Structure 1
Amino acid sequence: MNTGKALRLDRIFNRNTRRTIIVPMDHGVTVGPIKGLEDIRDIVTKLVNGGANAGLVHKGCVACGHRSEGKDFGLIVHLSASTTLSPYPNRKALVTTVEEAMRLGADGVSVHVNIGDDNESLMLEQLGRTAERADYWGMPLLAMVYARGPKIKNEYAPDVVAHCARVGMELGADVVKVNYTGDPDSFLRVTESCCVPVVIAGGEKLDSTRDLLEMVKNSLMAGGAGLSIGRNVFQHENPTRLVQALNAVVHESASVDEALHILDN
């Protein structure tokens, strides 16, 4: 592996556990300034204090979230976007480049692909070309790959999620983000067929913190490398404590009950 890429991955992953807690905060482009993301610098501070490994934002939020004190925090710049106001919300367009992300100080970049969409071929081309540029510069690439389109009956089905992970891996991503399939046995098929780290998405807000922690714990049992979860983290009533609990599960192999105890204290 390129030395520069290895160094940057060490700023996104815990080098001892080879796992990560990434909190995406790119939702503003998609759905607007939702609860929890009104003040980017404030939420970044809370996440850093909890021990998150990295945050993921669009290029314009890099300056908004920059802090001049406190612990360091891995920076992933998201390169693709769409809005829910568009007639084609699943069609992701590249809105910046690997080179611009580098100038902003990024430790990694990410691209979103929706396989099964009518514009799948465009997004696959974007992923492939971005992977080439990222590898040239030694920049880690996270591929968010979901199945969304007229032929997709269940985007959480194990075969479908495994296909998503494989697409990201085969087109050059260093890390793949996919949906969790619901149980460790089915998710094991996803991780075993993908030779790069697999992190799980959080999706819509879950009913309880226990549900979130159990999902993360079970994904790790199946070979997952951690999480890239946004709303279920930054919209929590106490994001700092929640990240501390997630940190215990992901990096310290704590049980769900032990992690919940952190939240109660």
Structure 2
Amino acid sequence: MSSIGKMIRFERIFNRTTGRTIVVPMDHGTTVGPIKGVIDMKTTIQKVANGGANAIVEHKGLVAEGLRGSGPDIGLIIHLSASTCLSPFPNAKTLVCTVEEAIKLGADAVSIHFNLGDADEKDMLHDFGRVSADCRTWGLPLLAMCYARGEKIKNSYDVNFVKHAARVGGELGADIVKVNYTGSPESFREVTEGCNVPVVIAGGETMDSDHEILEMVKGSIDAGGAGISIGRNVFQHRDPENLVKAMHMIIHQNKSVAEALDHLASVA
């Protein structure tokens, strides 16, 4: 990360002391529609900001929803990729925003999504290469959401696929990569050790148990992960603000899962 501009913006989305981050993606409305948690974006953004999240991810048309006028500041990552669940090719992501447009909108970083193994993999990798070059030109950090999804992929949480996807993200110029958690600190360490840039975890399927969510977060940190990029398990939680606070305890304060759960119990 040689650009001073990129370094300054990176500090807006990463904690300078811990070198870790709490990102809450809220780009789901494009993919699946106005689901619970992203209907009233202003309220949800305020809650996760109050909880201590470092950044949110959203599409360009919702940037104004993050302008609150008061309360804690929060970093802005504009998502450049899109597809919908109505498409016959939902895993084929297309670019719907440019790096230059994101800068004009005040972005601290941009994100892109690719799916290794999809029939349109070559087009997504081509787009990734272009976006990576533009980010280097303009000094804007790039978060790559890296997944293995396709005919040859039987289990997208398999460590061999996850570490391959992470490695592709790093090799093509991402500053941060987001991947699935592989289920244990031991297996996830293969992912972090095989990638040259910070690795954050996705939330995966919606979980019912706070303990399960926080164990996943702690396991990723213990394996050398750089934090989280968790959407639905945060913004659809019964108490997003305090769940983020519990995650903050683990990620930025090195607290235990038990201590984080105690916090959630104390505010229930």
For 1:123-134, what aligned pairs fall within 5 Å after superposition? 123-134=124-135
In structure 1, the partner of 2:209 is: 208
Q: Does 1:77 align with 2:50?
A: no
In structure 2, what is the equivalent of residue 251 of structure 1? 252
User: Residues 75-122 of structure 1: CA distance to partner in whole angstroms, max 9, x if unpaired?
Assistant: 000001000000100000000000000001000000000010000000
Q: How far apart, CA to CA, are the structure 1 residues paired with 2:205 and 2:157?
A: 13
Question: Residue 53 in 1 paired to residue 20 in 2?
Answer: no
Matched, 1:196 2:223: no
SS in 1 for 2:23: strand
1:262 and 1:137 map into 2 onto residues whose CA distance is 41
Q: Secondary structure at the match of 1:264?
A: helix
Displacement after TM superposition at 1:207 (Å) = 2.5
CA deviation after TM superposition for structure 1 residue 69, in Å: 1.4
CA distance in 2 between counterparts of 1:91 and 1:9 reads 28
Partner of 2:15: 14
- 1:106 match: secondary structure: coil
Kindly provide the amino acid, as one letter, of the partner of residue 255 in structure 1. Answer: S
What corresponds to 2:114 in structure 1?
A: 113
Local SS of the residue matching 1:86: coil
Q: Distance in 2 between matches of 1:256 and 1:67?
A: 31
**Letter of the 1:227 counterpart:** I
Cα deviation code 1:63-84 (max 9, x no counterpart): 1222111111000000010000
Which residue in the other structure is 1:44 paired with? Answer: 45
- Please report the TM-score for the alignment, with normalisation by the length of structure 1: 0.99
**Secondary structure of the structure 1 residue equivalent to 2:76:** strand
User: Match for 1:58: what amino acid?
Assistant: H
Taking only aligned residues, the RMSD between alpha carbons, in angstroms, comes to: 0.6
How far apart, in 2, do the equivalents of 1:138 and 1:242 lie?
32
- Cα distance in 1 for partners of 2:67, 2:210 equals 28
2:98 corresponds to which residue?
97
- Offset of residue 16 of structure 1: 0.2
The gaps in structure 1 that reach 5 residues or longer are none
The secondary structure found in structure 2 opposite 1:56 is: strand
Partners of 2:188 and 2:52 in 1: CA distance:
26
Structure 2 unmatched ranges of 5 or more:
none
* SS of residue paired to 1:60: helix
Q: Deviations over 1:133-161 (max 9, x none)?
A: 01110000000010110010111111100
Which consecutive aligned stretches of 4+ in structure 1 deviate over 4 angstroms post-superposition?
A: none
TM-superposition CA deviations, 1:214-253 (whole Å, max 9, x none)? 0000000000000000000000100011010000000000
User: Matched residues in 1 for 2:216 and 2:70: separation?
Assistant: 33
Amino acid at match of 1:109: V
Counterpart secondary structure, 2:34: coil
DSSP 3-state at the match of 2:225: coil
- The SS at the match of 1:199 is strand
Distance of 2:3 and 2:219 partners within structure 1 = 32
- Opposite residue 63 of structure 1, the aligned amino acid is A
Equivalent residue, structure 2, for 1:237? 238
Aligned to 1:173: 174
The DSSP-based 3-state class of the residue aligned with 1:207 is: coil
TM-score, normalised via structure 2 length: 0.98
Counting matched residue pairs gives: 265
Structure 1 Cα separation of the partners of residues 61 and 70 of structure 2: 20
Is 1:25 aligned to residue 39 of structure 2? no
Are residues 1:87 and 2:72 paired? no
